[in-house]
Chains A and B, each alone.
Chain A
Amino acid sequence: MNKQDDTRSSLLERLDPVTLALVQNRLDHVARQMGWVMTRTARSPIFNHAHDFSCFITNAEGVLLSQADGIPIHTGGGGFTIRAVIDAFRGRIEQGDVFLSNDPYAAGGNHLPDWVIARPVFVQGQLVAFTCNRAHQSDIGGGAAGTYNPLATEIFHEGIRLPPLKIADADGVRDDVWSLLLLNTRCPEELDGDVRAMMGSTQIGAEHVAELVAGLGLDSAMDYFDGLLDHGERRMRQAIAALPDGEYRGVDGFDNDCFDPVDVEVQVKVVVDGDRLVIDFTGTSGQIRGFKNSSLANTHSAVYAAVSSFFDADIPRNEGTFRPLQIIAPRGSLVNPDPPAPVTMCTVFPAYEIIHACWWALGSAAPERACAGWGKNSFPNSSGRRDEGGTWVMYHWGGLSGAGAVSGRDGFNQLGPLVTLGGLTIPNAEVYEQLYPVRVLRQEFRCDGGGIGEYRGGTGVEYVVQTRAPAEYSFRAEGVTRPTGLGVNGGGAGARGTLRVEPVEGEAVTPPVYGLLRFEPATLTVRSPGGGGFGNPLERDPARVLRDVQDGVVSRGAALESYGVVIGDDGSLDEPATVALRDRRRPA
């Protein structure tokens, strides 16, 4: 243990453990309260329906203290943004200021659609914390409506870039800056309402944090904030120390750069050294032409989501838990690109690949905790003009994929996406029919879609939807060219996805993996990719295989071939034959 560690542990020993717990719970509660305010006051359905935002609190140096509210891929990158604000405005941060930013290169952002409001909190004239809200805007200009432009080759094609801006000060909101923002979106009303809701939530949060700090006393409060980080660090070190020392490797990737077929890999070497982890992306492919490059903040978030989800869910999520992690992300690579590489897709791809690669490496260190891969998103979003004017943008969440299995549970048949660990609520088809010019015809599990294993991967679904108006479809079908939900510990991969568009008039089309296509009224069919299995399928409880067959999610053929389960003509399990068959299949 080095000297700094010594000082830290003595701090933790010096603090009152009861107060420490009270402060932790209070900060988590304040972060959740900020989330309630956001849900209640935002305008766009993406916030009050899909919860695509995160509220968090940092200390005065921009170190994340609590992110009790929010989605996994937002957890871990928050500190970058706030530290960029501090760097840009050092010595000029005053009570009443509110900052706004989004740029991944100039402002520690993850991607341009996620705007961050940061509000400094003052007690007795001293800066003590920031209350923050990161939220995905409905439109920020750029080459395609709805923030995703699959044709982007530079960040300039992706929307307006914001360095750390002072959006308000003690005199109120800066009208000139506000007008500039509204001028750069296709949905000014939503943006106006949503950014105001973000500011309102950080205001409520700031009042509560100031109250807490004043109650504890200024110096004491700063000690407790540090104590929380130390506690998180200690929990993470214990979890890491339980892994055997060594080097573990993982690789995942995709086979296109959004334009041309090309193999792109995320390579990771995870070094377990006592209670520390080095996560080294050396060897990862260079940055690519299309918008699947990962900003550094997003890379850190994805690593954090992978590591945190690999361990127990009760480890706190603050930046103290990041201290035992060293992340090496070479400049100019897919996971730390140089400007002006486009990055908008990164919160999904390559976040998926980064999480998978880290999971593979960690899973070889502790196979009993291994997580099988989740099928990659393969559905488009579509948009069109409303009769009464304005633009509609529809995310086809009904086409989400199957999740991977872990020891003790099968993969969820439809959940997702991986980067939210299921934190996204899938809309009802009936609701979508009321909101958009569509008729949803099917959203049902696939047969043999899930990867085989002692615990089966999620099946994925067949999703069929008729769009009854002309529309533009933005495709990013990452899971159709090869299996993406890979198995672990002898489990198999989930089936790959398929995609097809049948215009009411004209020939059926297999859309490109990436691209913008326009169709007159048409029927879209997405068979979403399945998740990977965990463990040897010959170890799966035959009763569960039988149930899968009766449920129509595993075929009789697969039961026999993959699981070694014999089902008699009367549909019942033939136990002796199953035992005999499985014995023959197992290596002697």
Chain B
Amino acid sequence: MATSNCTRWRIGVDIGGTFTDLVLVEDTGIHHVIKVPSVPATPVDGVVRAVEEAAAKLRIDVGEMLARCELFMHGSTVATNTLLEHAGARVGMLCTEGFRDSLEIRRGIRADAWAHREPYPEVLAPRRLRQPVRGRIDRDGNEIEPLDVDDIKRAADCFRAEGVEAVAVCLFNSFVNPEHERAAVNVLKQAWGGRWISASSDIAPIMGEYERASTVVLNTYVAPRTVGYVRDLAQRLGDLGLAAPLLLIQNNGGAVSAESVSRRPASLLLSGPAAGVGALNLYKRLSGSDNLMSMEIGGTSCDAMLMSGGEVAHTDMLDLDDYHLALPSIDLHTIGAGGGTIAGVDSAGMLFVGPRGAGAHPGPACYGKGGVEPTVTDAQLVLGRLEPNAYSGGSLVLDRELAARAVDERLARPLGIGVEEAAQGVIRLMEQALLHAMQRISVERGFDPRRFVLVACGGAGPLHGAPVARMLGCRKLYVPRMAGTFCALGMLHSNVRHDLVSVCFGDLASIDRDHVRTLFHGMRAEAEQRLLAEGFSAEDQSYVFACDLRYRGQQWDVRVPLEGPELDDGSVRGAFEREHERLFGHIQPNGTLEITKLRVGAIGRVREAALETAARATSAEAPVAEMRRAWIDAERGWREVPVYHGERLEAGHRFEGPALVRELTTTLFVGNGDKAEVDEAGNYVIEVHP
């Protein structure tokens, strides 16, 4: 491959459960995609292997390739896997006496009350390692009982004796006054001597002892393994010749330096899917719309995300397998609906799809690896939408016979219907579940889905994009050609971002403006430090300010963006009322407004990556590679449809559905009457037939 000696590039690496994806973008905009199997036991090796393959593909040596890399972005599942595999640290905890069980009571939150026979997942800090400390701060932040240093020393003895590896500190009311927590951390550092200590007021200074405890415990639980991994990787890549800093994608969709993430490793718990924010930033530029909803469907699940006015919705609360994390994060809704999702018939003859999945092993029945239960992928194959022989660039052969047998035995016969009919049922139920997920992130939050462009991505997303867009009432569907490497690509379009939060209580009308300004400036100064350390000069930094408000008596806050680091009464109230009206359908014209939190988002702007410009087609007519029989929809049934091969489509090519497009990492289904066009970037823009 011809690359000039002075070409520079960016590299994004995303580790998934099955594959590690690497995307390399040259400064001319040319993309290269590498997919290698992940190495779950030693993920660093998986990254290095992907890097080596990329170098081989570019025909240069690894050292030179890394030396010419100006930005190395990484999304890692190491924190997530540490949690899901229960392979984290032995965590001790310092709690205010009387509240050592907040963590284990979990506020009694049950995902499904009727499933009462299900136990909670294991508590991450067992009770005997949750050590009580006397001392009390009251609700206004006054000390009413001094911190008992001897209690902390006793706790330290216990932690040493028990071989505790990391300690979480969560004291009552520390969100109004963190002094006791800070003092406790200092005493503990001396008395215990271990490496990992984090304080709840430092990680998540929010009201609510359970959420703070859960967050700081998660942080310490994943810390040793996650931070160890990040440092190893930085070291290995450095040794191999990487000069640029290693950046990691955080839960908030922004990147952060390896050094800076070490204090807050829990902010990597959503590192993989959060990179989708970067991808939406890119598609915002390409599609010309800043109202986007993405539906990323892989083998086991669908991640749904919404961007309104160019901003991705954020939340302060993540539920990770029933563990709660109160860190600023993108608002991602995940459902168990992917290509490998299993369909079945209940004992009384009702068809269902999910939430169980076949995973990578045995996988769908058509993989021929011993799976006998029919999956969504099997149904697509039966319906002629997937090609049996060349999937994932020929690395996987799908067996239509096995798929048809699974659908027949497990679905069609019990239901007393035909195989094709049963397969159609699976797809319709799957797409109904996707529709409900997309409505959840839009309608529930007061957004009208009809005003959004649907972005269908992930390996399985583009097969479902058109029907789901039609049901949602979206007029436009956008399908990236590299749909299967959505996250790795997204990283290359992410900025560095730090989100800081300060608790600040008072009536909006009477709160001390100087105090507010001081808090804002304090946060800004801290953020500036971090950005400078990460190499962002003043002109590449930008700041956004916001505050959380509510009517007196309400328990939930509404986040309101501010013009600058201060409160301007008139505009703040107006902005709050607009947001309240959208979310809750009413306002209280005379309601007293209370302020609860101040927020600073600090952004280190990464220079926008160059965009690849696809070759321009000479004629608008797209070349049909073959015709294939496939099922279109309930109304039209089976048709002979044209199949296009992605590598032969160029910018400007147009075609009308029904049609199928075979791409390297995905298959695109274009429905009846839908009009597709390849855009300048080589992606598919589909005008959805209503």
Interface of A toward B, CB cutoff 8 Å: 12-13, 16-18, 20-22, 24-26, 29, 33, 36-37, 40-41, 45, 48-49, 71-72, 193, 196, 200, 231, 234-235, 238, 308-309, 313-314, 317, 400, 403, 406, 408-410, 412-416, 420-431, 433-434, 439-445, 461, 464, 547, 550-553
24 contacts between A and B (CB under 8 A): A18-B351, A20-B350, A20-B351, A24-B350, A25-B436, A29-B439, A40-B584, A45-B555, A71-B113, A234-B348, A235-B346, A314-B346, A400-B108, A403-B116, A409-B119, A414-B101, A428-B107, A428-B207, A443-B101, A443-B102, A444-B100, A464-B98, A551-B127, A552-B128
CB 8 Å contact bits of B544-581 with A (1 = contact, 0 = none): 00000000011110000000000000000000000000
Kindly identify, within residues 436 to 469 of chain B, every residue whose CB is under 8 Å from any CB belonging to chain A: 436, 439, 443-444, 446
Nearest A residue to B505 via CB reads A434
- Cβ–Cβ contact A17 & B118, under 8 A: no
With a CB–CB cut-off of 8 A, which chain B residues contact A444? 98-101
Q: A33-B439, A41-B584, A551-B127 are in contact. Are A21 and B555 (CB under 8 A)?
A: no
- Cβ–Cβ contact A425 & B432, under 8 A: no
Kindly identify, within residues 199 to 218 of chain B, every residue whose CB is under 8 Å from any CB belonging to chain A: 207-211
- Out of B102, B112, B113, B126, name the residue touching A420 (CB < 8 Å): B113
Q: Does B415 contact A (CB under 8 A)?
A: yes
With a CB–CB cut-off of 8 A, which chain B residues contact A547? 126
Instruction: Give Cα distance in the complex from A496 to B126, angstroms.
Output: 26
- Out of B101, B425, B585, name the residue touching A17 (CB < 8 Å): B425
- Cβ–Cβ contact B429 & A238, under 8 A: no
- Cβ–Cβ contact A309 & B105, under 8 A: no
Q: Does B138 contact A (CB under 8 A)?
A: yes
Interface of B toward A, CB cutoff 8 Å: 97-102, 104-105, 107-110, 112-120, 126-128, 138-139, 172-173, 175, 207-211, 345-352, 415-417, 421-422, 424-425, 428-429, 432-433, 436, 439, 443-444, 446, 553-556, 583-586
With a CB–CB cut-off of 8 A, which chain B residues contact A408? 117, 119
Nearest B residue to A462 via CB reads B98
- Cβ–Cβ contact A18 & B421, under 8 A: yes
Most chain B CB inside 10 Å of its own CB: which residue of A17, A308, A406, A420:
A17
Most chain B CB inside 10 Å of its own CB: which residue of A36, A403, A408, A551:
A551
- Cβ–Cβ contact A21 & B351, under 8 A: yes
- Cβ–Cβ contact B128 & A550, under 8 A: yes
Nearest B residue to A416 via CB reads B108
With a CB–CB cut-off of 8 A, which chain A residues contact B416? 13, 17
Instruction: Give Cα distance in the complex from A454 to B226, angstroms.
Output: 37
Instruction: Give Cα distance in the complex from A415 to B119, angstroms.
Output: 12
- Cβ–Cβ contact A443 & B127, under 8 A: no
Instruction: Give Cα distance in the complex from A423 to B110, angstroms.
Output: 6
Instruction: Give Cα distance in the complex from A415 to B270, angstroms.
Output: 29
B426 → chain A closest CB, angstroms: 9
Instruction: Give Cα distance in the complex from A25 to B428, angstroms.
Output: 11
B158 → chain A closest CB, angstroms: 11
With a CB–CB cut-off of 8 A, which chain B residues contact A431? 207-208, 555
Instruction: Give Cα distance in the complex from A18 to B416, angstroms.
Output: 11
With a CB–CB cut-off of 8 A, which chain A residues contact B104? 413, 445
Cβ-closest 9 pairs across A and B: A18-B425, A442-B98, A423-B113, A551-B127, A234-B348, A409-B119, A428-B208, A313-B115, A421-B113
With a CB–CB cut-off of 8 A, which chain A residues contact B172? 429-430
- Cβ–Cβ contact B107 & A425, under 8 A: yes
Instruction: Give Cα distance in the complex from A17 to B417, angstroms.
Output: 9
Nearest B residue to A432 via CB reads B139
- Cβ–Cβ contact B127 & A48, under 8 A: no
Instruction: Give Cα distance in the complex from A45 to B109, angstroms.
Output: 17
Nearest A residue to B444 via CB reads A36
With a CB–CB cut-off of 8 A, which chain A residues contact B98? 440-444, 464
- Out of B118, B347, B350, B583, name the residue touching A238 (CB < 8 Å): B347
Nearest B residue to A44 via CB reads B553
Nearest A residue to B162 via CB reads A550
Instruction: Give Cα distance in the complex from A9 to B662, angstroms.
Output: 45
Nearest B residue to A237 via CB reads B348
- Cβ–Cβ contact A551 & B126, under 8 A: yes
With a CB–CB cut-off of 8 A, which chain B residues contact A427? 107
- Cβ–Cβ contact B110 & A422, under 8 A: yes
- Cβ–Cβ contact B350 & A17, under 8 A: yes
- Out of A40, A314, A430, name the residue touching B175 (CB < 8 Å): A430
Number of A-B contacts (CB under 8 A): 180
B247 → chain A closest CB, angstroms: 35
Instruction: Give Cα distance in the complex from A441 to B134, angstroms.
Output: 11
With a CB–CB cut-off of 8 A, which chain A residues contact B421? 18
With a CB–CB cut-off of 8 A, which chain B residues contact A414? 101, 105, 108
Instruction: Give Cα distance in the complex from A422 to B119, angstroms.
Output: 12
With a CB–CB cut-off of 8 A, which chain B residues contact A439? 138-139
Instruction: Give Cα distance in the complex from A71 to B116, angstroms.
Output: 13
With a CB–CB cut-off of 8 A, which chain A residues contact B351? 17-18, 20-21
Instruction: Give Cα distance in the complex from A428 to B439, angstroms.
Output: 30
With a CB–CB cut-off of 8 A, which chain B residues contact A442? 97-99
With a CB–CB cut-off of 8 A, which chain B residues contact A29? 436, 439
- Cβ–Cβ contact A434 & B139, under 8 A: yes
B251 → chain A closest CB, angstroms: 22
With a CB–CB cut-off of 8 A, which chain B residues contact A41? 584-586
Nearest A residue to B117 via CB reads A406
- Cβ–Cβ contact A40 & B585, under 8 A: yes
- Cβ–Cβ contact B429 & A22, under 8 A: yes
With a CB–CB cut-off of 8 A, which chain B residues contact A443? 98-99, 101-102, 105
Instruction: Give Cα distance in the complex from A433 to B428, angstroms.
Output: 50
Instruction: Give Cα distance in the complex from A17 to B353, angstroms.
Output: 13
A434 → chain B closest CB, angstroms: 6
Known contacts A40-B585, A412-B108; 7 further A-B pairs (Cβ under 8 A): A17-B351, A22-B428, A36-B443, A235-B346, A420-B113, A441-B98, A551-B127
- Cβ–Cβ contact A72 & B113, under 8 A: yes
- Cβ–Cβ contact B108 & A422, under 8 A: yes
Instruction: Give Cα distance in the complex from A238 to B348, angstroms.
Output: 8
- Cβ–Cβ contact A25 & B117, under 8 A: no
Most chain A CB inside 10 Å of its own CB: which residue of B432, B433, B584:
B584
Nearest B residue to A49 via CB reads B555
Instruction: Give Cα distance in the complex from A580 to B688, angstroms.
Output: 75
With a CB–CB cut-off of 8 A, which chain A residues contact B585? 37, 40-41, 200
- Cβ–Cβ contact A25 & B429, under 8 A: yes
Instruction: Give Cα distance in the complex from A406 to B118, angstroms.
Output: 9
Nearest A residue to B353 via CB reads A21
- Out of A12, A18, A308, A313, name the residue touching B428 (CB < 8 Å): A18
B502 → chain A closest CB, angstroms: 16
- Cβ–Cβ contact A409 & B110, under 8 A: no
- Cβ–Cβ contact A425 & B109, under 8 A: yes
With a CB–CB cut-off of 8 A, which chain A residues contact B348? 231, 234-235, 238
With a CB–CB cut-off of 8 A, which chain A residues contact B428? 18, 22
With a CB–CB cut-off of 8 A, which chain B residues contact A426? 105, 107-108
Instruction: Give Cα distance in the complex from A565 to B128, angstroms.
Output: 19
Nearest A residue to B596 via CB reads A434
With a CB–CB cut-off of 8 A, which chain B residues contact A308? 114
With a CB–CB cut-off of 8 A, which chain A residues contact B115? 313
With a CB–CB cut-off of 8 A, which chain A residues contact B584? 40-41
Instruction: Give Cα distance in the complex from A196 to B584, angstroms.
Output: 12
Instruction: Give Cα distance in the complex from A551 to B158, angstroms.
Output: 13
A5 → chain B closest CB, angstroms: 14
Instruction: Give Cα distance in the complex from A26 to B428, angstroms.
Output: 12
With a CB–CB cut-off of 8 A, which chain A residues contact B415? 17
With a CB–CB cut-off of 8 A, which chain B residues contact A425? 107-109
- Cβ–Cβ contact B102 & A231, under 8 A: no
- Cβ–Cβ contact B108 & A21, under 8 A: no
Nearest A residue to B211 via CB reads A428
Instruction: Give Cα distance in the complex from A414 to B109, angstroms.
Output: 11
Instruction: Give Cα distance in the complex from A406 to B425, angstroms.
Output: 37
- Cβ–Cβ contact B444 & A445, under 8 A: no
Instruction: Give Cα distance in the complex from A71 to B554, angstroms.
Output: 22
- Cβ–Cβ contact B432 & A421, under 8 A: no
With a CB–CB cut-off of 8 A, which chain B residues contact A434? 139, 207
Instruction: Give Cα distance in the complex from A21 to B118, angstroms.
Output: 26
Q: A25-B436, A421-B116 are in contact. Are A231 and B350 (CB under 8 A)?
A: yes
